[in-house]
Amino acid sequence: MTGAGTDRTKPSLIGGPTIILVRPQLAVNIGMCARAMANFGLADFRLVSPREGWPRTGALKKGAYAAAAGAVHLLEAAKLYDSVEGAVADLNFVWATTARERGQHKPILTPAEAMPQSAAAIAGGEKHGVLFGPERTGLANDEVALADAILTFPVNPAYASLNLAQAVLLTGYEWMRAATDAKAPFAPTERSPAASRDMVLSFFAYLEGELERAGFFRPPGKQPVMRRNLRNIFHRMKLSEQDVRTLRGMVVRLVDGPRAGRREAAREEENLAHDFGAVPLESSQPPKDEG
């Protein structure tokens, strides 16, 4: 199953650091990690001794593929290793993720600090990777020792444990920010051009005239201030031509009441009710005792 934001007609980003899951325990988490990778164009997926084996079959495979939500190409291309040493052998630089200080005197960076370094190095031809440990225990100290630096997340110190896929997602997000211009993928479309000052002032004149007839500007001495406040409300909206037409039409309908066609329909409905013997509501009350 693919998500609402999936569009196979658009080019897919490919690259970024290698994502290495060390002894992952749950098929669903592996699938969710693949989805997080696909979100941010990470393409090299490696698994070290998954607890339940790989490639999986049956219900476990089904769970992983469902959690991947369309990123099954990463699951199918995932490389399997027996050791962390084998998984990082071809890499030039390795980050080890951990929520705990390990006393190994390595540089400790957040993804926002680390990924710009990796982006620059990868653009220069290096291969970087990020190690993620098992869901329950995280990486072992000997596994952290294989890395060049530690990657950790600025989280609530009282609850620092992240879901495996969340950690991959945050890393991928910072990679995308560092490696691209990180602009929003789409922009709002203008329904119509900005309204001209003449069009806006004409609307104000009409609106204020109707409000004055309705007795809105009270007491009379405050009318100038009330008019200015009312106009400033609309000025803050940066009205488009369509906005002004809609607002004006709305006020017209409030002032004039139902359209003529609707009044005629209402009269026709009353005539039909009369023809079929319906009793008007006011006539359904018992007569007053005039005695």
pLDDT digits (tens, 9 = 90+) for 6-42: 555 555 567 899 999 999 998 999 999 999 999 999 9
Task: Rounding to the nearest 10 degrees, give the CA dihedral for residues 278, 281, 285, 290.
Answer: -100
Model confidence pLDDT, tens digit, residues 191-210: 789 999 999 999 999 999 99
- Would you state the pLDDT for residue 98? 92
CA proximity to 64, closest of 29, 36, 37, 38: 29
Query: What residue has token string 């950790």?
Result: 152
The pLDDT mean for the chain works out to 85
Whether the predicted pLDDT of 286 surpasses 60: no
Mean pLDDT value of segment 104-131 = 95
Is residue 95 within 8 A of residue 130, CB to CB? The reply is: yes
Beta-strand runs (E) in the chain = 18-22, 45-48, 79-81, 93-97, 108-109, 128-132, 149-151
Is residue 75 within 8 A of residue 32, CB to CB? The reply is: no
- Would you state the pLDDT for residue 7? 55
Whether the predicted pLDDT of 54 surpasses 50: yes
Is residue 122 within 8 A of residue 68, CB to CB? The reply is: no
Q: Which of the two residues, 157 and 214, has the higher pLDDT score? A: 214
Sheet arrangement for strand 79-81: 79-81, 45-48, 18-22, 128-132, 93-97, 149-151, 108-109
How does residue 180 score in pLDDT terms, banded at 50, 70 and 90? confident
Model confidence pLDDT, tens digit, residues 142-166: 999 999 999 999 989 888 888 999 9
In terms of Cβ atoms closer than 10 Å to its own Cβ (0-12, 13-18, 19+), residue 259 is exposed
Mean pLDDT value of segment 111-137 = 95
Q: Residue type for 204, please? A: F
3-state secondary structure of 139: coil
- Would you state the pLDDT for residue 277? 53
- Would you state the pLDDT for residue 283? 45
3-state secondary structure of 194: strand
Joined tokens for residue 70: 């369309």
Whether the predicted pLDDT of 262 surpasses 70: no
Q: Which residues have a Cβ under 8 Å from the Cβ of 211 and sit 6 or more positions away?
A: 217, 230
Top-confidence range, 12-16, 30-34, 53-57, 259-263: 30-34
How does residue 1 score in pLDDT terms, banded at 50, 70 and 90? very low
Mean pLDDT value of segment 48-57 = 81
CA proximity to 108, closest of 165, 154, 164, 156: 154
Mean pLDDT value of segment 116-121 = 95
- Would you state the pLDDT for residue 288? 52
DSSP 162: P
Chain centroid to Cα 144, Å, comes to 33
In the CATH scheme, what is the homologous superfamily, with its name and number, of domain 18-179?
Answer: SPOUT methyltransferase, trefoil knot domain (3.40.1280.10)
For the chain, give the percent of residues with pLDDT over 70: 82
Whether the predicted pLDDT of 135 surpasses 80: yes
Domain with CATH 3.40.1280.10 in the chain: 18-179
- Would you state the pLDDT for residue 289? 52
The number of CA neighbours under 13 Å toward the Cβ of 12 is 17
Residue 29 Cα distances to 9, 166, 254, angstroms: 27, 10, 56
